[in-house]
Amino acid sequence: MALQNIGAGNKDDAFYRYKMPRMITKIEGRGNGIKTNVVNMVDIAKALGRPASYTTKYFGCELGAQSKFDEKTGTSHVNGAHDTAKLAGLLENFIKKFVQCYGCGNPETEVIITKSQMINLKCAACGFISEVDMRDKLTTFIIKNPPESKKGSKDKKAMRRAEKERLKEGEAADEELKKIKKEAAKKKGSSKDAVSKASSKKKSHNSDEDHSPTGSQADEHEPAAAADDSDDDIQWQTDTSSVAAQQAIQQQLNAVTAGMVMLSANEEKSKSGKNSPRREVKPRVNGQSNGVKSVNPQEELVETMKDYIKKGSPVSELKSFLESLSGTPQEIINALFEALFEGVGKGFSKEVVKKKNYITAAVQEEGSQLMMLHAIESFCGKASPEAVKEVALVLKALYDDDVLEEEFIVEWYEKGLKGENKGDPIWKNVKPFVEWLQSAESESEEE
Residue 116 backbone phi and psi in degrees, to 5: -90, 20
Name which of 8, 9, 85, 87 is nearest 41 in CA terms: 87
Residues 6+ apart with CB under 8 A from 99: 6, 7, 48, 49, 50, 107, 109, 121
Q: Which is nearer to Zn ion, 111 or 125 (CB)?
A: 125
Q: Which is nearer to Zn ion, 25 or 106 (CB)?
A: 106
Distance CA 81, CA 63 (A): 11
Residue 347 binds Zn ion (CB under 5 A): no
Closest distance to Zn ion from the beta carbon of 56 (Å): 26
Strand partners, 69: 76
* Positions 38 through 77 that interact with Zn ion (CB under 5 A): none
Q: Which is nearer to Zn ion, 114 or 324 (CB)?
A: 114
Closest distance to Zn ion from the beta carbon of 350 (Å): 15
Q: Which is nearer to Zn ion, 288 or 439 (CB)?
A: 439
Q: Which is nearer to Zn ion, 104 or 359 (CB)?
A: 104
Closest distance to Zn ion from the beta carbon of 422 (Å): 24
Residues 6+ apart with CB under 8 A from 134: 118, 119
Q: Which is nearer to Zn ion, 82 or 350 (CB)?
A: 350
* Positions 93 through 132 that interact with Zn ion (CB under 5 A): 101, 103-104, 106, 123, 125-126, 128
Closest distance to Zn ion from the beta carbon of 391 (Å): 12
> For residues 44 and 20, is the Cβ–Cβ distance under 8 A?
yes
H/E run at residue 26: strand 25-28
Distance CA 155, CA 161 (A): 10
Closest distance to Zn ion from the beta carbon of 122 (Å): 9
> For residues 199 and 217, is the Cβ–Cβ distance under 8 A?
yes
Total binding residues toward Zn ion, as defined by CB under 5 A: 8
> For residues 41 and 59, is the Cβ–Cβ distance under 8 A?
no
Closest distance to Zn ion from the beta carbon of 319 (Å): 34
Distance CA 26, CA 28 (A): 6
Q: How much of the chain is helix, strand and coil, in % rounded to 5?
A: 60, 10, 30
Closest distance to Zn ion from the beta carbon of 125 (Å): 5
* First-last CA distance in the chain: 31
* Positions 133 through 172 that interact with Zn ion (CB under 5 A): none
Beta-sheet pairing, 67-70 with 35-38:
unpaired
Handedness of CA 4, 8, 11, 17 (dihedral sign): negative
Q: Which is nearer to Zn ion, 7 or 60 (CB)?
A: 7
Distance CA 8, CA 11 (A): 5
Closest distance to Zn ion from the beta carbon of 121 (Å): 9
Q: Which amino acid does the sequence have at 247? A: Q
Q: Which is nearer to Zn ion, 23 or 123 (CB)?
A: 123
Q: Which is nearer to Zn ion, 130 or 378 (CB)?
A: 130
Closest distance to Zn ion from the beta carbon of 259 (Å): 12
Distance CA 387, CA 289 (A): 32
Binding mask 286-325 for Zn ion (x = CB under 5 A): ----------------------------------------
Residue 89 binds Zn ion (CB under 5 A): no
Instruction: List contacts with Zn ion (CB under 5 A).
Output: 101, 103-104, 106, 123, 125-126, 128
